[in-house]
């Protein structure tokens, strides 16, 4: 034993000079090779590898069960959160007839989905392929015409051909700047949307802007007045002025 532990007789590292003698290793290899020839179907086709990997996997799993459970819980929580924030919790029809404040509880991605759905439905209605309540109707003496929504914003400033006035008899638009709308207020967004819609619909003259909450439409033009749903204004603000 002292000879084995003496300096120079044992190398440091994984392999050591102390071990089976060369004849013993030769006998071991001979037995392995002979076993391979006698049971070649099992050894040389490596059908034993799945059992080896399974054994190693369960040993690692048993030793690291707590860590793996924490990682799995984190992944599931992240997936659940992303799934819950991606889809809106209410339909477009429900959002329009509900108080506009309810949209503030929806994520930005959910509001974008509602906005895209609003534009798609309005386009179908303008083409005459949908027979539900129009989202952008223009009422005339002969009925109404369904129009498309604002796919983009045009000139948000008044011109000599189009003058926009606020209806002071109805609920006023809020002038409080909102951080989520890049400092714009509800009044700023409503005015810009109204001017863009009226220019897109080729309506000129003096138009009265009215705030009509909980209406089934997004915007409607009736006898010189444009009625905007504040829920529609909120969705448009998220689409055109998203947070950086």
Task: Pick from 47-56, 69-78, 99-108, 164-173 the range whose average pLDDT is largest.
Answer: 99-108
Side by side, the strands of the sheet bearing 143-146 are: 143-146, 137-140, 219-222, 225-228, 205-211, 162-166
Task: State if pTM tops 0.85.
Answer: no
Q: Could you read off the pLDDT of 109-137 as tens digits, one per residue?
A: 888 899 999 989 888 888 876 667 788 88
* CA dihedral (222, 223, 226, 228) positive or negative: negative
Residue from 244, 229, 144, 146 nearest 193 by CA: 229
Distance CA 136, CA 157 (A): 21
> Which has more pLDDT, 39 or 154?
154
Helix residue spans in 64-102 (DSSP H): 65-86, 92-96
Q: Where are the domains of the chain?
A: 2-63, 92-240
Q: How many residues does the chain have?
A: 244
> Which has more pLDDT, 31 or 199?
199
Q: Could you read off the pLDDT of 203-218 as tens digits, one per residue?
A: 888 899 999 999 999 9
Conformation bin of residue 40: beta by default, left when phi > 0, alpha when psi is -120 to 50: alpha
Q: Percentage of the chain surpassing pLDDT 70?
A: 59
* CA dihedral (123, 125, 130, 133) positive or negative: positive
């Amino acid at each position: 034993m002292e000879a084995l532990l003496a300096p120079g007789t044992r190398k440091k590292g994984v392999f050591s000079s102390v071990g089976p003698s060369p004849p013993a290793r030769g006998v071991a290899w001979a037995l392995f090779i002979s076993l391979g020839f006698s049971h070649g179907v099992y050894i040389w086709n490596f059908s034993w590898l799945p059992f080896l990997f399974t054994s190693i996997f369960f040993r690692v799993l048993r030793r690291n069960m707590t860590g793996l459970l924490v990682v799995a819980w984190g992944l599931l929580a992240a997936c659940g959160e992303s799934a819950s924030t991606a889809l809106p919790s209410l339909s477009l029809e429900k959002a329009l007839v509900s108080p506009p404040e309810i949209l503030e509880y929806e994520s930005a991605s959910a509001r974008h989905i509602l906005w895209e759905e609003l534009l798609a439905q309005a386009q179908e209605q303008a083409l005459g392929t949908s027979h539900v309540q129009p989202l952008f109707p223009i009422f005339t003496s002969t009925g109404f015409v369904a129009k498309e929504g604002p796919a983009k914003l045009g000139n948000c400033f008044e011109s000599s051909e189009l003058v926009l006035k606020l209806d002071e008899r109805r609920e006023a638009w809020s002038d409080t700047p909102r951080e989520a709308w890049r400092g714009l207020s509800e009044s700023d967004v409503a005015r810009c949307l109204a001017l863009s819609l009226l220019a897109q619909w080729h309506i000129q003259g003096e138009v009265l802007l009215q705030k009509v909450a909980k209406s089934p439409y997004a915007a409607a033009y009736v006898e010189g007045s444009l009625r905007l749903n504040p829920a529609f204004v909120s969705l448009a603000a998220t689409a055109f002025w998203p947070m950086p």
